[in-house]
Amino acid sequence: MLRISKLTDYATVLLAALAQREENCVPASQLAEETRLELPTAAKVLKTLAKSGLVRSVRGVNGGYQLVRSPDQTSVAAIVRAMEGPIALTECSLEPGLCAHESQCTLRGNWQRIGQAVEQALERLTLRDLYQPLGSDPAVTPVATFKIM
């Protein structure tokens, strides 16, 4: 099973909460309370998101966090990369030399193609797509149309 980490899941929850707010800047403590995350966890995730350029940290009395781009301009791929690093399904599809079986394996190229398809699908999905009601049409092409040659 392919899975994102809990921290990446929390990042999507925090970003969705920020995206749906009228206020321009929201304190980490308020976001943690609204999303029912522990404050240290929320703060850790928000700092990671700030380092990646997805949110901006504002200091001061009216400080907190705000989105750098609109929810329509923030891809799910950008969120995953911010929290997980480069998107790859296997180590060998990330970069050469990480697998001892690489010299005799013929699957690396296909794993790279599959990883690229997953990354492209995540690029087409936006932060807004994450928090829209489930009845909305996602921006992803149905899996049945994907074909490996």
Instruction: Print pLDDT tens along the chain (149 aa).
Output: 578 899 999 999 999 999 998 778 999 999 999 999 999 999 999 999 999 999 999 998 889 999 999 999 999 999 999 999 988 888 777 777 777 777 788 887 888 899 899 999 999 999 999 988 776 555 554 444 444 44
**How many folded domains does the chain comprise?**
1
* Beta pairing partners, 126: 75
Report if residue 118 sits inside a domain: yes
Q: Is 146 part of a structural domain of the chain?
A: no
Residue 49 lies in a domain: yes
pLDDT of residue 50: 97
Residue 68 counted as domain residue: yes
Q: Does the residue 86 lie in any domain?
A: yes
Using CA atoms, how far residue 92 sits from 85, 105, 108, 109, 114, in Å, is: 15, 10, 6, 9, 12
Domain coverage including residue 57: 6-137
Q: What is the pLDDT of residue 137?
A: 57
- Write the CB contacts of 102 (distance below 8 Å, at least 6 apart in sequence): 92, 96, 108
Instruction: Report the CATH number at residue 90.
Output: 1.10.10.10
Within a domain: 125 = yes
Radius of gyration of the chain (CA): 18
**SS3 helix, strand, coil % of the chain, rounded to 5?**
55, 5, 40
Q: Return the beta strands (E) in 2-148 as ranges.
A: 55-58, 64-67
Other beta carbons within 10 angstroms of residue 122's beta carbon come to: 18
> Residue 32 has what pLDDT?
97
Assigned domain for 84 exists? yes
Could you tell me the pTM of the whole model?
A: 0.83
| 148 lies in some domain | no
Tokens in use for 139? 């921006």
> What was the pLDDT predicted at 2?
72
